[in-house]
A and B are shown apart, each in its own frame.
Chain A
Amino acid sequence: MTRSKKVGQQTFMFSRPLPIIGTATVVGKKEGEGPLGEYFDQVVTDPLFGEKSWEKAESKMVRTAIQLAMQKVNLAYGDLDFMFGGDLLNQIIASNFAARDVPVPFYGLFGACSTYTEALSLAGITLDGGFAARVLVTASSHYQTAERQYRFPTELGVQRKPTAQWTVTGAAATIIGEGGSGAALTCTTVGKVVDMGIKDVNDMGSAMAPAAVATIKQHFEDTGRGPDYYDVIATGDLGSLGKALAQEMLAEAGYDLSKNYTDCGVLIFRPDQDVHSGGSGCGCSATVFSGYFYSGLLSGQYSKVLLVSTGALLSPTSYQQGESIPCIAHAVAVEKV
């Protein structure tokens, strides 16, 4: 009888730290010009990335991130047992089409902007369960592909609301497992879908904040840890409004996050980059973690990071039919080893 790895309601403690072997990030021009620009491996100034459509460009970003990551850690496709990846597009075409060129068993995921930690979480469970030695995780988003799918054509002259967020153009690839060192996944708290009735599609931060709060609270309850256990707790893409809401609700629940809480969507852009409430998209937490937090863990700036990517699980059909926005957040703890 093996000891259960589940602690509390929704948290799974890995029996050993699962080291990250390497990461790579490809981002767009705006992200490259942002405060974290220097942490990204490749900045692509052309939103088409030399392709014929934005969707193809996003897919190429995923492919490029995978290739860069493999080169950095000197691995071949044969060394990988699984690929977990997803994006925001209908039928997750950016990831599916990138996987055409990646001869590795592939699970395509959709968790909206929570996809990156959804994939990390599954990667951790697969590795710890002994089903794989090395796993590749990807997530991507692209401003133009997301705009045209969820909102309006990009050339339509409409004003954005102050609560609107700017979809990050970027892809990240993270390889976890045997042979890694430096930083490792130690546990994951898998989120449940939370819907607090928000319907405003121009205000994703408010819709997603309760999901982030639920997962973070559950993580503390399950593990017995408090906010002080971590050097930094980062939500995925709540933006400035969602971040303020999440912090306030956690404070009311007795968790003071004022010292070490941040949001990837707030970090990735400067307020003067015309992004309103901040960045969003699968690529947001994926590139910020793989670029910025991972290098911080390696350099010793951070030793314990809790990443909580947040996803709004709506579709254009659901909001046109008047549905509120169901949201989810998955947490992954990454610690220096």
Chain B
Amino acid sequence: MEYLLAFLVGGAICAVGQLLMDLTPLTPAHVLVLFVSLGAFLSGLGIYEKLVKIGGAGATIPLTGFGYSLVSGVFEEIDAKGAVGILSGVFKNTSMGIAAAIFFGFLMALFFNPKE
């Protein structure tokens, strides 16, 4: 069941992205920026949390989920430490993903060359 929900929620988020790319002049880069900001904004309103409870990875794997991780870290840190959490929380829950992206990105660039 949780797999089906992940499929439906994740698929739906990607479908919205596709509609934006096909029907508006937005480029993929614009859609990604929009999605991460939208995810952060909806997390601030407490809406995205509910979607994560329903969709699991379907809500956390799309880039909106990255926005959710940014904000959830900020909220956790604010709750624990007060105002410093506004900045210290940003990469709390996202540091692993970002570090992985930089490290694996470097590694791949080391070993691979662009294909045709």
Contact = CB atoms under 8 A, between A and B. Distances in A.
Q: Decide if A and B touch, CB cutoff 8 A.
A: yes
Interface of A: 29, 47, 144, 153-156, 158-159, 200
B72 to A, nearest CB: 28
Contacts of B11: none
B94 to A, nearest CB: 22
A225 B115 CA distance: 49
A155 B114 contact: yes
Interface string B72-116: 000000000000000000000000000000000000000000111
A156 B116 CA distance: 12
Interface in B1-57: 21, 25, 28
A47 B21 CA distance: 30
Main secondary structure of the interface of A (DSSP, over half): loop
13 contacts: A29-B116, A47-B116, A144-B114, A144-B116, A153-B114, A154-B114, A155-B114, A155-B115, A156-B28, A158-B28, A159-B21, A159-B28, A200-B25
A124 B25 CA distance: 43
A154 B114 CA distance: 8
Contacts of A158: 28
Most buried by A among B21, B25, B115, B116: B116
Contacts of B115: 155
B107 to A, nearest CB: 15
Contacts of A155: 114-115
A266 to B, nearest CB: 23
Contacts of A29: 116
A200 B26 CA distance: 11
Interface of B: 21, 25, 28, 114-116
Nearest to A158: B28
A158 B21 CA distance: 10
A149 to B, nearest CB: 14
Contacts of B114: 144, 153-155
Contacts of B21: 159
B114 to A, nearest CB: 5
Nearest to B108: A155
A159 B115 CA distance: 17
A144 B114 CA distance: 10
A295 B62 CA distance: 54
Nearest to A29: B116
A158 B30 CA distance: 12
A154 B115 CA distance: 8
A37 to B, nearest CB: 17
Contacts of A144: 114, 116
A52 to B, nearest CB: 10
Given A29-B116, A144-B114, A158-B28, 6 more contacts: A47-B116, A144-B116, A153-B114, A154-B114, A159-B21, A200-B25
A156 B28 CA distance: 10
A144 B113 CA distance: 13
Contacts of B25: 200
A153 B112 CA distance: 14
A159 B31 CA distance: 13
A29 B116 CA distance: 10
B104 to A, nearest CB: 14
A29 B25 CA distance: 32
B10 to A, nearest CB: 17
A200 B27 CA distance: 11
A200 B25 CA distance: 8
Contacts of A47: 116
Nearest to A155: B114
A47 B115 CA distance: 9
Interface pairs A-B: 8 shortest CB-CB: A158-B28, A155-B114, A47-B116, A154-B114, A155-B115, A159-B21, A200-B25, A144-B114
Contacts of B28: 156, 158-159
